[in-house]
Chain A
Amino acid sequence: MIAALMALLACQVAGELVARLLGLQIPGPVIGTVLLFILLLVRGRVPDALRDVSRGLLTNLSLLFVPAGVGIIQHLDRIRGEWVGIVAALVGSTVLTMVVAVFVFRLVSRLSGADRGDA
């Protein structure tokens, strides 16, 4: 388990280093994801411990957003004043984005023949 956690953290550190050294706009953890993915491709299989730790983190992913969510407490005044616009923008844009993304995905999947095999 420690080795698996170490692998995740090391990839994140490496990702931060790459982002800073190359001055990339891409966030460190995302580069870390790519690095770990390349390591797994080279290695050919996912070690059991890494699979378990990753599954543990990903099945509880929503917990990790709670602390930042509580930060709403710092912005109650602003949100109270502008809540109609904020709610409209967040709900409208989120639903519209899902509709556009799923429509484009299905359209291109059908046109490009990527539907064969699965779906």
Chain B
Amino acid sequence: MIPIPPVIEDVWVYLSTTPLLWLTATLAAFLAGQWLFERAGRRPLVNPVAIAVVLLIVLLKATGTTYQTYFDGAQFVHFLLGPATVALAVPLHQNFGAVRRAALPMLAALLAGSVTAVVSAVAIAVAFGVSPETMRSLAPKSVTTPIAMGIAEKIGGIPSLTAVMVIITGIVGAMTVTPLMNLLRVSDWRARGFAAGVASHGIGTARAFQVNEVAGTFAGIAMALNGIATAIMAPLLISLLG
């Protein structure tokens, strides 16, 4: 290995422990992901979150940095998930007319989607023989991170593993929603957005906002409603499913 000059080592020792470095790295990795997404013609398979996560993991591994040290900086970004959830009230208010007219289909799709999300995840996991902790950790995977982690704690999963399942689910949803909906020949932006939000929370919602504002609004509502529905239903379903 090339010897590192002591000055650079001093700077590294200082920087690597400040929140500044890992906060900056998080934003830089995401920008790199977005740049690749744009360069690839905004193709949904080139997902900025997935790219950012992979880049950051490579960087952490290469520098021997622990997740705790990383998170001390990145928590400032993570923290904004709460206010961003509250901010969903704004597009909800602006599109309230369309939302009110669609109250019945939304409620029906919420119940069907919410139950399907938990039951099918658990059923497939059990069919593949995954361990009980992993199964319980992925049951609430379709709702946004802070909510899913709370549910995992209640039903005997591992909250930090649940957070990972939630992100992967979001990435899968964002990657597949557009081709899937085109395949199903659904042109109703309300239905497309709502499905993305129920199945894949905020990352699906972010994808929906990229495509169409009405889709984004309905995805945001679906995400908020499914947070509530799953928080109530998942513990019941898990005790029924054993």
A82 to B, closest residue via Cβ: B130
CB neighbours of B227 from chain A (8 A):
26-27, 30
Residue of A12, A26, A70, A100 near B56 (CB, 8 A) is A70
Residue of A25, A51, A79, A88 near B90 (CB, 8 A) is A51
Give chain B's interface secondary structure class. helix
Interface pair A105/B49, CB less than 8 Å apart: no
CB neighbours of B87 from chain A (8 A):
8, 36, 53-54, 57-58
Cβ of B238 under 8 Å from chain A: no
Interface pair A63/B77, CB less than 8 Å apart: yes
B131 to A, closest residue via Cβ: A82
CB neighbours of A37 from chain B (8 A):
89, 92-93
Interface pair A97/B198, CB less than 8 Å apart: yes
Cβ of A22 under 8 Å from chain B: no
Cβ of A80 under 8 Å from chain B: no
Q: How far does the alpha carbon of A25 sit from the alpha carbon of B174 in the complex, in Å?
A: 28
Interface pair B56/A93, CB less than 8 Å apart: no
Residue of A12, A67, A74, A107 near B77 (CB, 8 A) is A67
Interface pair B224/A117, CB less than 8 Å apart: no
A95 to B, closest residue via Cβ: B176
One digit per residue, 1 when the CB lies within 8 angstroms of any chain A CB and 0 when it does not, for chain B 102-139 equals 11111011101100110011101101111100100010
CB neighbours of B124 from chain A (8 A):
85, 88-89, 92-93
Cβ of A68 under 8 Å from chain B: yes
Q: How far does the alpha carbon of A51 sit from the alpha carbon of B190 in the complex, in Å?
A: 21
B134 to A, closest residue via Cβ: A82
Residue of A71, A93, A101 near B67 (CB, 8 A) is A71
Interface pair A101/B92, CB less than 8 Å apart: no
Give chain A's interface secondary structure class. helix
In whole Å, how far is A8's beta carbon from the nearest beta carbon of chain B? 4
Q: Which of A15-42 contact B (CB under 8 A)?
A: 15, 25-30, 32-37, 40-41
Residue of B26, B57, B192 near A72 (CB, 8 A) is B57
Known pairs A11-B86, A61-B202; A70 contacts B60 (CB<8 A): yes
In whole Å, how far is B142's beta carbon from the nearest beta carbon of chain A? 6
CB neighbours of B199 from chain A (8 A):
94-95, 97-98, 101
In whole Å, how far is A95's beta carbon from the nearest beta carbon of chain B? 6
Cβ of B152 under 8 Å from chain A: no
CB neighbours of A101 from chain B (8 A):
109-110, 112-113, 116, 191, 194-195, 198-199, 222
Known pairs A62-B174, A96-B116, A109-B105; A40 contacts B180 (CB<8 A): no
Q: How far does the alpha carbon of A50 sit from the alpha carbon of B86 in the complex, in Å?
A: 11
Q: Which of B23-58 contact A (CB under 8 A)?
A: 26-27, 29-30, 48-49, 52-53, 56-57
Contact sample, A vs B, 11 pairs, CB 8 Å cutoff: A46-B90, A65-B170, A66-B49, A68-B145, A72-B167, A89-B125, A94-B173, A98-B176, A103-B184, A104-B108, A104-B109
3 A-B pairs with least C-beta separation: A85-B128, A101-B113, A67-B74
- CB within 8 Å of B: which residues of A? 5, 8-9, 11-12, 15, 25-30, 32-37, 40-41, 46, 50-51, 53-55, 57-75, 78-79, 82, 84-86, 88-109, 112, 114, 117-119
